[in-house]
Amino acid sequence: MNGKGTHLKFAGLGILLGYSLSRIGFADYGEVHRMFTFADTRLFFTFCAAVVASALGFFVFRRMTEGWGKKRFHPGIIPGGAIFGLGWALSGACPAIVLVQLGEGKILALTTLLAIMLGNWLYGRIHRRFFRWETGSCGI
């Protein structure tokens, strides 16, 4: 799983993702802001088209996803989504977008990247200290 071939596949898919997100305009603060304020629906439709096309793909290759299981509904789903949405609207970045911004030469995004890592680390500590639930998805 973690051999050279796997690493190359991760890098290749990353390049495709980074190139696409940049040409879509997802790393542009104004474009994201106009999506959230409904001033321009292009990005929103892009996301919807991606979900529909992925759903078709998952249907075609449904036998390959048989062992995946369902996503668990845990107490972090609702507050986590709300906190993320607040952060995305403020910074204009989601976890992949901040890397796209950096790649485009927006060096200020380094601030956002470090803050995302800090937030991830902080929540990990808070979770271990106060919460008991299993998220079942990203190995907290």
Partner 1 sequence: MLIALADGAFWPWWLGGLALASVAIGFLLLLRRQFGVSSGYTRLVSVLENPEEEKASKAFASMDMGDLEALLLAATAEASGRSVDELQAQDDASDPGMFVEAPRVVERVSASAYAMLFGGILIGAAIAAVTHGEFAIHTGMGADYEALFGDGWVSYLPLIIGGICVGAGTRMGGGCTSGHGLSGCSRFQVPSLVNTTLFFGTGVVVSLLLDWMVGA
Residues in contact with partner 1, shown as a per-residue x/- string from 10 to 39 under the rule CB under 8 A: xxxxxxxxxxxxxxxx-xxxxx-xx-xxx-
Whether residue 32 contacts residue 26, with contact meaning beta carbons closer than 8 Å, is answered with: yes
- For position 82 contacting partner 1 by CB under 8 A, the verdict is yes
Whether residue 40 contacts residue 34, with contact meaning beta carbons closer than 8 Å, is answered with: yes
| Of residues 95 and 132, the one with the C-beta less far from partner 1 | 95
**Six-digit token pair at 82?**
């709300």
Q: Which of residues 92-131 bind partner 1 (CB under 8 A)?
A: 92-109, 111-124, 126-127
- Cα separation of 11 and 17, whole Å? 10
With H, G, I as helix, E, B as strand and everything else as coil, classify residue 68: helix
- For position 79 contacting partner 1 by CB under 8 A, the verdict is yes
DSSP 34: H
Find the binder of partner 1 among 88, 129, 130, 132 (CB under 8 A): 88
Q: How far is the CB of 77 from partner 1 (least distance, A)?
A: 5
- For position 66 contacting partner 1 by CB under 8 A, the verdict is no
